Each structure stands twice: as C-alpha cells, then as structure tokens.
A and B are shown apart, each in its own frame.
Chain A
Amino acid sequence: MSNLVMGTEAESGSEDALRRQADALEESGWGERFDFVQPHNLCFWVYLWLTAVGVFQVWSYFDPKIGFYAEAFAISAVLCGLCGAAWWLWFRHIDRWERQPVGLVVAGLVWGAIPATFAFAMTVNTAMLGIYPKLFGQDWSANWAAGFTAPFTEEAAKLCGFILLMGLAPRLVRTANDGLVIGAFIGLGFAAFEDFLYAANSTASAFGTDPVGNAVQMSFTRIAVSFVSHPLFSALVCSGVVYLLGTAAQPRRIGRGVAFVLIGMFLHFTWDDAGGLGGGSGLGTFGVMCASVALAFTVLTIAFRLAAPREHQFVRDILAPEIEAGSVHPEELEATLDRKSRKAFRKSAPNRRARKARKHLRRAILDLTHDVADAQGADVEPVRHSRTEVARCRASAELAPTA
C-alpha cells in the first residue's frame, strides 16, 4: 500500500514536471523551427517585396561604378565582411538562452543589410538631409542633421525588419532577450553594409586617384568606431518594442519599453552628433564618444540582466523533469542561471582545473536544455547524449585532482 502511494506521488510529481516543461516549451517557443517560406503570411510577401526593392537599389547604385572601382570594392567587402563575421561569432556566443534558429538570424541580417539600408534609409536620409539645410542652414546641418535623422530613419528601418520577423515567427520572437539578440543581428547586417557603403563612396575622394587606399582607410576607420554601433542601438530598440507590445511570454512594461527605445535612439544621436556635442573640438568629440561607450555598455548590461529572469524560468521549467530524474542537480542548475550562484559554485571548487570543469558543466547543461527543447521533451538520442555529457563534466569537476 505504502509502495503504491509512493509510486503515485512520484508519478504525479513527474507529471507536474512534465507539465511545467510542456507549458514552458509552448510559451517560450524554445526548440521551434523557423520556416521562412510562409505563403499565407503577409509579412513574408512584404519582406520579399522590400528586399527586392533593396536589391534593385543596390544594383542601381553600384552598377555604374563597379567596373571602375572593382578592386577597391572587393577589398572593402572583404574587410567589412571579416569585421561582420567577428561580430557574428560573438553574438552567437552570447545567444545562450533560447538559441535563435540560423534561418531567423540570417533573415534579420539580410533585412539589416539590404532593405533597411537601401530600400529605406538611403532614400529617406537623402530627403531628411535635404530638408534640414533648407530650414536651418548649412552650418547647423553640418553639426546636427545626421543626429536628427539617423536615430529616427535608420532605427525605424531596422525595427521594421524586427516587426516582420515577429509576424513570421510569432512564437520564436517574443521575449525581451529575443529582441536584444535579433535586434543585434539586424543591426549587424546594417552596420556591415553601411561600413562597406562608406568605403565604396570614399573611392571617389581625391578625384578617384587612390581608390584602394581611400577604401582601405575608410574601412578601418569604420571598423574602429563600430563597437558602439547599429547592433547595440537596434538591440535596445527592438527589446524595448517587445516590452511595449507585450507578448504571451513577456508581460507588457510600457515604461521600460519606452525607456529602452529612447535610450537606443539617444545613443545613436550622441554617436552621430559627437562632433556637434563636443563643440567642434577633437578632444570634445572624443570625450562625447567615450561617454557614449560607457553609457551604452551600462544600459546594455542592464537590459540583458532585466531580460534574463524570464529566460531563466524557462530553463528551470524545461529542465524540471531532468532535475526530478537527477540528471541535473538543482545547485548546478542555479549555478548555470544565476550570476551569484555561479560565482559561489566556481569559487567552491577545490582548484583551477575543477573551476574550469564547472564552467564546462554549465555549457553542458545549456546544451542539454537546447536538446530537450529541440526534441520537445522527447527522450531522443541527442538528449541522451547531452545527459551523458553533463554526467561526464560533473565527474571531471568532482574528480579534478587538487593542485
């Protein structure tokens, strides 16, 4: 009798864990596939149409020049492409919670590079930069027009891509963390192509006498100042919009949403108008840029910390059956999620090798979470493999010899 009661309790506990897991998978969209081709979805057709407009504009813009400046364009493309690739790797590295499907990330990147830059920004920026000098004169425009144009036009252009992706993958793009990561990728596409555009335009300076030298110099200049750039601005803006709209997985927080959108735009303004804000002096400009960098990374850190608890809860729920089965220990899970617990967990390791092993254990647990989500809770081969990896890392963390 008592055995039967215990068995029933264990089973109901396990059912509870499974329900938690199923609810978390349903709510969060972890492990969902992304299908770009969705003929029933109007967002798909709008994405295609505006990308086609962008491609046409790219072709019209570069076609007359490509024969004359081919070498300089090729070198710029390689330099800006390498810089973009380095950022790509970093963004994939920090995308540790709900890992965005590659297709979704590429769709964001392409939007930033082609439609946002060429279908939207180029046309509207030209118009805005024509309006300001007519209204306020050339001198005012030289100092301020860029900062009063790009934060509105370019952030709106990039945000449009994020909105379309929300419509194309309504369950995959629904937390503030999704906004940060996908926004960063859209911004990366924009930044890489914009850098290339600057380099390509610089080929004509000095009357086209040194196109390669000018293009290389401009590429390096743009790369050097790109660490606070479009990825950061659009990460904040897109994350803010998720808070503003509210989703099934992210309760609406209007104040926070407005704050992130405005800060993203404000940072764009300070970066573009550093010259005007710095009073026209080189030192002043440098000071404004340094202050922008400090503010940008502070705000970004806050944004990631505020977005994290939601993702942490999803991980706890997705791994609930694993915790119950004992394949992941609760303190290991907390050390995977919580910063303080992680520090304490690593500090309590007896030696350096054990500390390193505990770091690997964290990665192994996240791998297990992703595999469980990909399998939608089913006990499939990748999940079993990840479980053994967690056990292996745990064993090496515990067995690490003292130094």
Chain B
Amino acid sequence: MSASSLGRERVPVEHRLLGLDKRSFPYALFVVAVFLVATVVIPRVNDAIDWDDPVRAGEQLALTDTIAFTPVTGWDVERGYRVGAGGSTVQSGEATVVGDGVTFDVVPGTFDGTPAELLDQIAKVTSATGDPTFRVDGEPATITTTGGDVGVIQTYSSVNGDGLVAAFVLDGEGLQVTAYGPPTQMRAAAEDIQDMIASIRASGADGSAG
C-alpha cells in the first residue's frame, strides 16, 4: 500500500464511514476543535468580560511622551495609558474612554500641516478605507484648549452613527479626536466632551504632562 493510497484507492471497509477514511478523523477533528475554541469560545469569553477600569479623580492619559488629556472621572478607560507619578510617561498612545453611552477616542500621529488640513486628511482616509459613508458636515469651527492650542472641530455622519471629529497639531504631532454615540447621549455628554477636548495640552506649555 502506498502512502497516497488513502486518497487514490478505495478505503478499506473497516476504516470507512460515509465514504471517508476514519483514520483521518482524529487529525481533522483536533483541528476543528482548536478552531472552534480560537474563534468561538475565546471571543465569547472576551465579550462576557465587562470593562471595569474607571478614571479616578486626577488621572490623565498620555497620548505621546509630551501630550496628555484629562478624561472625565468615572468614565471607563478601554484603551490608553495613564500618566505616571510626577507627570512621567512610560507608555503612551491612542486613548479611548467610554461613558454615558458615548465613546471618546484620541489618535496621535505625526503630522506637519495645519489642523484644518489634518481634518481634511482624516475625512479623506476614513471615507476611502474605513467607512465609505463617512462625511464631515457643516462648517468647521475653531476650538481652543485651556492651554491655548487652537484646533478645528466638525460634526460628521455615517451609517455607523453620527458624532464629532476634532483635529489639533501640537509640536508636529497631529491629534484626531472623535466622539460618537446616540444623539441624546451626545447632547447629554456635550459638556464632558468639550472639557476633555479642552484638557488636551502639551507638557511644553507648563513644564508637566498636562
């Protein structure tokens, strides 16, 4: 019997089940079992665990080594790194906080242009790659942080939901700020969203991160 007889010849009767070779079952079923654990069981475990990482008073999230913002106390941190003691930053990067049904997300990245150009770039890339229905609405407005940095803000709409998107450029670092949620929640959380945007500041402003 040659090695490839498994496929080329008729399977011996004692090994046959529905025309298949029973000797191949342990290998195949092991793989199916691993696949189901990997793609069904573990994702369900992930879904079953709730976020429980609320922002405590006085905490800030580090967006880069030198830029941070202050999230609303009690909102959940789903992504992002807290600024350490004395304003030290070990880890930094994209931040997402969720509260009152609203998601607030800040993405840092290298950018040389103006905030208005950054907003155009965000709209262009998002509608071309992420969500074809994404488009910014109305006139862009100017927004100023408490540190005095000026950015632009605009509302957006897409089939995935409506929200607002703001852009800042601080020391060659661009920031894309997005907030979205159901319209009622967005209205209720409008002040918190404004506060978080206004809290964005670079450490160069006063010598500490935030």
Name A residues whose Cβ lies closer than 8 Å to a Cβ of B.
29, 32-35, 37-46, 50, 64-65, 67-69, 119-120, 123-124, 126-128, 130-131, 133-135, 137-139, 142, 153, 156-157, 160, 163-164, 166-172, 204-209, 280
Chain A residue with minimal CB distance to B93? A142
> Which one of B34-42, B142-150, B151-159, B194-202 is at the A interface?
B34-42
With most chain A CB atoms within 10 A of its CB, the pick from B28, B45, B52 is B28
Cα(A183)–Cα(B54), bound, Å: 44
What's the dominant secondary structure at chain A's contact region?
helix
Instruction: Return chain B residues, CB-CB under 8 Å to A42.
Output: 20-21, 24-25, 27-29
CB distance from B54 to the nearest CB of A (A): 12
Knowing A157-B38, A166-B27, A207-B174, say if A138 contacts B43 (CB, 8 Å): no
Residue of A whose beta carbon sits closest to that of B127: A68
Partner of B39, one of A119, A163, A164, A206: A119
Interchain CA distance A135-B51 in the complex, whole Å? 8
Q: Are B8 and A46 in contact (CB under 8 A)?
A: no
Query: Chain B nearest CB: distance from A172 CB in Å?
Result: 6
Q: Is the CB of A207 within 8 A of B3?
A: no
Listed in ascending order, the chain B residues whose CB lies under 8 Å from chain A are 2-4, 6-8, 11, 19-21, 23-32, 34-35, 38-39, 42-43, 45-46, 49-53, 77-82, 90-91, 109-112, 118, 121-122, 124-125, 128-130, 132, 174, 176
Interfacial chain A residues near B43, Cβ < 8 Å: 123-124, 126-127
7 residue pairs of the A-B complex, CB under 8 angstroms, read A43-B24, A64-B130, A64-B132, A131-B49, A134-B49, A142-B91, A157-B38
With A40-B21, A207-B125 as contacts: A167 and B38 at CB distance below 8 Å: no
The one of A120, A142, A167 in contact with B35, judged by C-beta atoms closer than 8 angstroms, is: A120
CB distance from A370 to the nearest CB of B (A): 16
> Among the listed A33, A64, A119, which residue makes an inter-chain contact with B4, where contact means beta carbons less than 8 Å apart?
A33
A28 CB → nearest B CB, Å: 10
- Residue numbers in B under 8 Å from A33 (CB-CB): 2-4
